[in-house]
Amino acid sequence: MKVILIGDSGHARVIADNVISNGDTVIARLDDKYTELEKRNDCWYGPSSSVHELIRDEQAKVIIAIGANAIRRKIVDKLNLSDEQYATIIHKDALVSPSAKLGHGTVVMPGVIVNAAATVGSHVILNTRLVIEHDCLIGDYAHVSPGAMITGGVTVGDGVHIGAGATVIPTKTIGAWSTIGAGSVVIDNIEAQSTAVGVPARVIKTADQTVSTTNRKV
Ligand SMILES: CC(C)(COP(=O)(O)OP(=O)(O)OC[C@H]1O[C@@H](n2cnc3c(N)ncnc32)[C@H](O)[C@@H]1OP(=O)(O)O)[C@@H](O)C(=O)NCCC(=O)NCCS
């Protein structure tokens, strides 16, 4: 498979490694820091708007290789590609249950385990060595960071960012576009657009950006 990466920063380099280790080829790295399309060392570099001609000429698939969830969504909306024009990248050293489902544009990094009947949406990042347990639902544009433990039956809403090493106990729901701090342990449902940190995780920011320090246990 030929792959076009949108984005050319650290996260894109990690995804490029995944693509190459699977025996596939990165044929382009597009980023709006480039103004013109040019070929260097067998790879195209240019603005993201070049994606349409490259897909047509090279019959390649696309990954939005940008870590920030909201920006990933914005670019997907802007490019207006069909679902089939996106790749799904699963590193050869990830374990994905045959009964799990993964959406288009989603990337699964090395060492990840996705267990039975989990459903993972589109344009999701499942980062290095995390666990998605059985029956979890992971929404579109979510990013679950390295080493996180999402236990059975958890629902992670669209655009959620789960920090590195965080744990969510079974059947809890993290509302859309929320953030869970690195190392936190979520034992309650978390409202949409909140930030929760600590062990156990307490909400420190809500949708209207109110910062609540009183809600935290020290
Ligand atoms: C949760 C997070 C997004 C908060 O960032 P922020 O909004 O800039 O918040 P601040 O750094 O101002 O911290 C606000 C408060 O929360 C505390 N806090 C922040 N992150 C915390 C965490 N992970 N665990 C416990 N407490 C945390 C701070 O100590 C601070 O407490 P105080 O008000 O008593 O001083 C960030 O700290 C975090 O953990 N990000 C995850 C990063 C990650 O894992 N990236 C993976 C990339 S692959």
Cα 169 to ligand 1 centroid, rounded to whole Å:
20
Q: In this predicted structure, what is the pLDDT of residue 214?
A: 55
Q: Taking 50 as the threshold, does the pLDDT of residue 57 lie above it?
A: yes
114/100 Cα distance (integer angstroms): 7
- For the CA of 161, the closest atom of ligand 1 is 41
Return the best residue to mutate from 197, 213, 218 for the ligand 1 pocket (most ligand atoms within 8 A of CB). 197
Report residue 183 as tokens: 């190392």
For ligand 1, atom 42, name the residue with the nearest CA: 163
Amino acid at 47: P
Q: Cβ < 6 Å from ligand 1: which residues?
A: 127, 145-146, 163-164, 179, 181-184, 195, 197-198, 204, 213
For ligand 1, atom 15, name the residue with the nearest CA: 204
Distance set, CA 109 to CA 24, 44, 75, 76, 141 (Å): 15, 24, 21, 21, 15
- CB neighbour burial string for 147-163, b if at least 16 within 10 angstroms, e if fewer: bbbbbbbbbbbbbbbbb
Q: In this predicted structure, what is the pLDDT of residue 217?
A: 41
Cα 204 to ligand 1 centroid, rounded to whole Å:
9
Q: Taking 90 as the threshold, does the pLDDT of residue 97 lie above it?
A: yes
Domains of the chain, earliest start first: 2-85 (3.40.50.20), 89-205 (2.160.10.10)
> What mean pLDDT comes out for the span 14-43?
96
pLDDT tens digit string along 152-205?
999 999 999 999 999 999 999 999 999 999 999 999 999 999 999 999 999 999
213 pLDDT tier (thresholds 50, 70, 90)? low
Q: In this predicted structure, what is the pLDDT of residue 218?
A: 35
pLDDT tens digit string along 169-179?
999 999 999 99
Q: In this predicted structure, what is the pLDDT of residue 191?
A: 97
13/109 Cα distance (integer angstroms): 12
Q: Taking 70 as the threshold, does the pLDDT of residue 216 lie above it?
A: no
Cα 197 to ligand 1 centroid, rounded to whole Å:
7
Q: What percent of the chain has pLDDT over 70?
A: 96
Q: In this predicted structure, what is the pLDDT of residue 212?
A: 58
For ligand 1, atom 36, name the residue with the nearest CA: 181
211 pLDDT tier (thresholds 50, 70, 90)? low
Report residue 25 as tokens: 């080829």
The reply to whether 52 belongs to the active site is: no
Q: Counting beta carbons within 10 angstroms of the beta carbon of residue 177, is it exposed (0 to 12), middle (13 to 18) or buried (19 or more)? A: buried
Most distant CA pair in the chain, distance: 58
> What mean pLDDT comes out for the span 140-155?
98
Q: What percent of the chain has pLDDT over 90?
A: 93
- For the CA of 180, the closest atom of ligand 1 is 1
Which of 75-79, 199-203, 208-212 has the least mean pLDDT? 208-212
Q: In this predicted structure, what is the pLDDT of residue 8?
A: 96
Cα 120 to ligand 1 centroid, rounded to whole Å:
26
Q: In this predicted structure, what is the pLDDT of residue 35?
A: 97
In the β-sheet with 185-186, what is the strand arrangement from edge to edge? 95-96, 113-114, 131-132, 149-150, 167-168, 185-186
Cα 194 to ligand 1 centroid, rounded to whole Å:
12
